[in-house]
Amino acid sequence: MFKAKWIDISVGLKSNMACWPGNPEVKIESISSIAAGKIYNASALSLCVHSGTHMDAPRHLIKNGPSMDRLPIEAVVGPARVINITDRVSIKPEELKKHRLQKGERILFRTSGSGLWKKSGFIKQYVHITAEAAQYIVSSGVITVGIDYLSVGSFEDGVVTHQILLRNGVWIIEGLNLSQVKPGRYDLICLPIKILDSDGAMARAVIRPRKA
């Protein structure tokens, strides 16, 4: 029997981790501590829902678009393909076309952005999906795209990329860490927290190599 191990491709949430400039910092604090003589350990958390590994719902860019709790589970549980992007600036249609994206696919882009999680602050130069590539993804019929830094769009001008994907029903996973992963075919489970009416939600994402 084929027994492959699950690989965690989410980043760990911690206080003051890299977050989108202008968003509140991730803050995790102890509110009860055994070390301090209390009966139990407990923590409180405050953060933007677009922190660390997370998903964007259409509502992120569309006023009354579907919210995170409306995510079809099929979009984030099932076969997925990890594609290695060699371009160090952006994901362009020319490179994508070589990978022949198929209707119904879940695609995770492994870029040099995965390496940015090692740095402490937010890095503006990460590999993003160009508007043209977003259009190509939509026309290919891909249902879900994942990227390995904090946005599918560029730091300066990422709105259009988001709009193209979200208006066309493509669900977005951001903030993955694919540095330990080879390109290829996997099973994906990515479950965002069910925050009602939310524009996004933090998620745990894992993949497991597939035989074929």
Q: Which residue is nearest to Zn ion (CB)?
A: 50
Whose CA is closest to 168, among 53, 61, 50?
61
Place of tokens 């029997």: 1
List for the chain the helix, strand, coil content (%; round to 5): 20, 30, 50
Could you give the residue numbers annotated as active site?
60
Tell me the closest approach of the beta carbon of residue 149 to Zn ion, in angstroms.
11
The SS3 of residue 189 is: strand
**Nearest CB to Zn ion, comparing residues 32 and 161:** 161
Q: Return d(Cα 90, Cα 125) in angstroms, integer.
A: 10
Q: What are the start-end ranges of the E strands in 88-150?
A: 90-91, 106-110, 128-129, 144-146
- The contact mask relative to Zn ion for 142-181 (x = CB under 5 A, - = no) is --------------------------------x-------
**Nearest CB to Zn ion, comparing residues 56 and 148:** 56
List Cβ<8 Å contacts ≥24 apart for 10-17. 10/52, 10/53, 10/175, 10/176, 10/177, 10/203, 10/204, 10/205, 10/206, 11/52, 11/53, 11/117, 11/175, 11/176, 11/177, 12/52, 13/45, 13/47, 13/51, 13/52, 13/202, 17/51, 17/52
**Nearest CB to Zn ion, comparing residues 122 and 187:** 122
**Nearest CB to Zn ion, comparing residues 55 and 85:** 55
Q: Which stretch binds Zn ion (CB under 5 A): 24-32, 46-54, 161-169, 188-196?
A: 46-54
**Nearest CB to Zn ion, comparing residues 29 and 156:** 156
Tell me the closest approach of the beta carbon of residue 199 to Zn ion, in angstroms.
8
Tell me the closest approach of the beta carbon of residue 151 to Zn ion, in angstroms.
6
Tell me the closest approach of the beta carbon of residue 186 to Zn ion, in angstroms.
22
- The contact mask relative to Zn ion for 50-89 (x = CB under 5 A, - = no) is x-----x---------------------------------
Scanning residues 82 to 121, which ones bind Zn ion (CB under 5 A)? none
Task: Kindly state the number of chain residues that form the binding site for Zn ion, as judged by CB under 5 A.
Answer: 4
Residues that bind Zn ion (CB under 5 A): 50, 56, 174, 200
